[in-house]
Structure 1
């Protein structure tokens, strides 16, 4: 954008701020966030830390999204990938178990550094996080009904948003910056921002995991039930509303094959994936079994969800509940189920101390994918693949988050009968840890909106971003970006990304995966600063083998990804010194004052010296 363009955008943004302050009859906040998902909560906490007035609005009566609705085995690969908002959250979860049961307790061990927890504990930790931010106000059970957008060039501006409770009582609030933390992108869509649902064709972004031609297929949903075999805490499942026996008799044939050996097991040859290790409290996170003969996820049954009304979404929720809870009820009670399967199934039930308001069933469906913004930068398959050279993924100098997972899709279509058919559109793509650029949060034409939930991406790209720790990192970035936009009275598209990165690093959030310098290290901020500038792209010899994963620990969890350590104690060699001096000069660092590769100077010495200059 030209200097005149930036000036015009700033004038328009300031006019929006003035209009907001002029409407004294309506509540006025620096930052308004819709959706108390992990992304929304992280946004609120980050903006609150900057001293901004924040309103966080949640349409249901329970905050936390899927983290408090059953997704209790967090999706990541290596612990070294966790930072920022999720790092803080997990540490608090672990402390909760240590304070409640003792530091050496079984519950602490089962929490796996706070990443595996009971939904009620996750909820309590989120509530405490928000309570600590005195400038953050939380309103529950208010759904978005309208967005007032002022049309202007070059960007449009959101003036206010209106929310209503179940009785129809409306609340209109004004904000300087808005953040859409919802899984569905409801605020984004109501503001008229461009979005897509469904899959792009292979040629549109050159994605090998995409279908040949575009379609409306959507990654399938299912519940993440929380169940137990502990008799004292076990509630016997009952038939869900609308249960029809004839819908489940087809599973009997599947039970006769060697592809189904148990009702509950891990990781395969079962119907309900009971994630291991077990959660604290003898509880299990239940999930869909990938590539199985019997699936919980229901592709095609969710196509109306992204742009659906509250009533249409509730009908989809009810259909998934009827199917998945109905399948369990059938297996536990139908006389034609073989005894060995029925007796095993009867050992399982809902948890008496979870989801008290919804008959011990998760209040939210696992919405893996809905709308996706088409914003300033569209994240695609290529963004999480190896760069042409080196041991790392594609480099993004404007990265505001990083992740260690991969493109993961549970399927988008089902062929054949409900039981015994197969999902298509399914993939699990191993990649090295990757960066996420700021542009995925930005709409093209609204100057005061950030979208950390329904981020700008292709279907395949979104399948690498749709994990809760990543959403929390994106939310944290959105919260700090919003605070900067308010502070500097600038459109969100003009936020100084370097300043944003510095805030994120100071808040413990990594923008590049560095396996041996974690958020609790005294060198974390300087190493992340150097990495963001490109300083860690080629520190390994050119012939170093590329490995996307470290050694397996258990399940999907691994040791640190190889080829991603800074090795600060390693002596600085002459070749790397020359490379780093050129980088330091580009950053405006006085190179004459930097240490040399004299056999004593370490990599850490050089980076610390550069940071001080």
Structure 2
């Protein structure tokens, strides 16, 4: 029989063994690098590449399995604007696209000479500059994966920030972030490269959701814009809002709001609509027929049936061609793939709530495609054409050929000491400390669909105002107020008004801003300074050496 002392000894041994085991388990969940990037977007990957190029360690903490965000998620018909101001790693990305399509093996479903050369306001293929601006989703994703492999970037996928208690701050400095799996990431500088701005928000940084009133920044195109029709995405004919046309007592049609739109120029918390940029195919061997989704209800699309009845015939105008008989399919017209008014809660929603919002968007858009292909209220010529199309069988193969990334056109926007507005985008105000350029129009999709006083349907929020020339983007858009956080950079949910963001929010610009944010992060580490206090001239020299384009020729 064992003595009491021997039993006590064994208990002590077991206790320390177990304690030591717990220590090893806890410490194994802590990861450290000079720069921690949260997000898997195009901005995140270009930022990571730049950190490595500057000799710093970096970890990408991605809530997504697939890298590249919308660039790899269906938006292959690039919103370039003026492509001459796209430099640095962004231009390198499009050069790699060009190199891919120079290979005969890249043209599986279509002969190269049959493709043509149409891009969005620019040729798709620029042989002299060795760039290509139009591409298939899987090609973009592979390029981002190539960056990861070439630069030996550590990527942690399916790691979701604990938005409630996962950010540790000390005196305005982020020390670490924790994900829902329990992993802790420590760094000297952090970059929020998500479309939603979750790390920024969890760090206590000020932000805005929705449209500011025009009075806030003395703008013209912010706030409610009822009666402003700068694209074709509105109801040109008087279409009744009621289930029985002209009879209010019959109730509203689905997908309509009975809330008045508000006064023009008035701010609100509403967001421009989201959609999925579907990759469709018209090759018989590479298309998947549109299936009836769960909860399909053709009544949801009665409004579209009435649009067709009015004589509208622009169904296929945004089936923009990309290589191999595929499309980047975007919203077009008064009733299309944009799910207007159904995303307002998305930025602040919990992960579970966001999943429900995404599911609702998917059901709506899949139902729309099934309706177009099958419903007898759709004109015969449209249904006959739709029979030639389907989801591309060789894209998004692990997700039922459906894009893995919704088009988050706008979510949170940081409010820093410097806020970019339409004045800078339209060239009416000088931009201090430029770190990249944009050129696209002030572009917002519709924000709401409402009933006019006469009982008709109308959309609101769509704007498209072109700047006179490309414009610079300030370093101030990337950094929070120093009083709030000193080691965070935000290259996607930048400090800008709704109108300015409508131009900045293009994928090439996000790549540019991701690279510039990373250069600033490395410089802040080298000089042991808050990101707000780094020497701009040093940053400028780094960016110019990296072939970033900072301003129009003739400027400083």
- Asked whether the two chains share a fold, i.e. TM above 0.5, the reply is yes
Return the match for 2:347 from 281, 303, 306. Answer: 306
> Which residue does 1:497 correspond to in 2?
536
Q: Which ranges of structure 1 fall in alignment gaps of 5 or more residues?
A: 1-22, 267-272, 388-393, 515-530, 536-613
Query: Is 1:251 the equivalent of 2:304?
Result: yes
Mapped pair 1:137 → 2:184 = no
1:159 aligns with 2:184: no
**Aligned residue pairs: how many?**
468
Give yes or no for the alignment of 1:422 onto 2:470.
no
Q: Secondary structure at the match of 2:461?
A: strand
3-state SS of paired residue (1:66): helix
Deviation (angstroms), 1:339: 2.2
Deviation, structure 1 residue 82 = 1.6
Q: Find the residue that maps to 1:463 and give its secondary structure.
A: helix
1:179 aligns with one of 167, 188, 191: 191
Deviations 1:567-601 (A, max 9, x none): xxxxxxxxxxxxxxxxxxxxxxxxxxxxxxxxxxx
Deviations along 1:320-376, whole A, 9 cap, x unmatched?
Answer: 111111011012122343322211111110001000011001111100000001012
**Separation (CA, whole Å) in 2 of partners of 1:489 and 1:308:** 36
Aligned residue number for residue 576 of structure 1: none
Counterpart of 1:149 in structure 2 is: 168
Q: 2-side partners of 1:412 and 1:303: how far apart?
A: 9
Q: Structure 1 pair 336/109, CA: closer, same or farther in 2 (3 Å)? A: closer
Q: 1:281 aligns with which of 324, 335, 354?
A: 324
Q: 1:24 to 1:328 in 2, by over 3 A?
A: closer
* Residue matched to 1:434: 471
Alignment of 1:391-410 (within 5 A): 394-410=429-445
Alignment partner, residue 554 of structure 1: none
Aligned to 2:10: none
- 2:282 equivalent in structure 1: 229
- State how 1:450-599 maps to structure 2 within 5 Å: 450-514=489-553, 534-535=555-556
> What residue is the counterpart of 1:359 in the other structure?
400
Q: Report the Cα distance in structure 2 between the residues aligned to 1:76 and 1:435, rounded to whole angstroms.
A: 15
Compared CA separation, residues 24 and 326, structure 1 to 2 (3 A) = closer
1:33 aligns with 2:37: yes
Query: 1:300 deviation in Å?
Result: 1.7
1:127 aligns with 2:148: no
Contact 1:193 1:373 in 2 (8 A): yes
Query: TM-score scaled to structure 2, two decimals?
Result: 0.81
The structural deviation recorded for 1:57 is: 1.2
Alignment of 1:93-132 (within 5 A): 93-101=97-105, 105-106=112-113, 109=117, 111-112=124-125, 113-132=131-150
In 2, the alpha carbon distance for the partners of 1:452 and 1:383 equals: 17
The counterpart of 2:381, out of the listed 327, 337, 340, is: 340
Whether the aligned pair in 2 keeps the contact of 1:376 and 1:443 (CA below 8 Å) is: yes
In the alignment, the residues of structure 2 paired with residue 427 and residue 205 of structure 1 have an alpha-carbon distance, to the nearest angstrom, of: 18
Answer yes or no: is the 8 Å Cα contact 1:94–1:108 preserved in 2.
no
Deviation at 1:90, TM superposition (A): 0.1
Q: Determine if the alignment matches structure 1 residue 196 to structure 2 residue 192.
A: no
Compare relative contact order (CA 8 Å, sep 6+) and give the higher one, 1 or 2.
2
SS at match of 2:359: helix
**Per the alignment, in what secondary structure is the counterpart of residue 248 of structure 1?**
helix
Tell me by how many angstroms 1:24 deviates: 9.5
Aligned-pair CA distance for 1:102: 8.4
Paired residues of 1:383 and 1:434 also in contact (CA < 8 A): yes
User: Helix, strand or coil for the counterpart of 2:34?
Assistant: strand
CA distance in 1, matches of 2:117, 2:216: 46
Residue 376 (structure 1) aligned to one of 413, 417, 425: 417
Cα distance, 1:416 vs structure 2: 3.6
Distance 1:247 1:397, change over 3 A: closer
Contact 2:293 2:363 in 1 (8 A): yes
The Cα of 1:262 is off from its aligned counterpart by 4.7
Which stretch of the first structure deviates more once superposed, 301-310 or 25-34?
25-34
Residues 29 and 184, structure 2, Cα contact 8 Å, conserved in 1? no
TM-score, structure 1 as length reference: 0.73
In 2: Cα distance, 1:337 partner to 1:295 partner: 13
Question: 1:203-258: per-residue Cα shift (whole Å, max 9, x none)?
Answer: 11000002332211211111111101111111111112221122123322221222
Secondary structure of 1:447's counterpart equals coil
Native 8 Å contact 2:449 2:457 kept in 1: yes
CA contact (8 A) 2:86 2:512 kept: no
Are the counterparts in 2 of residues 147 and 158 from structure 1 also a CA contact under 8 Å?
no
Question: In 2, Cα distance between the equivalents of 1:477 and 1:322?
Answer: 38
Tell me the SS of whatever aligns to 1:411: coil
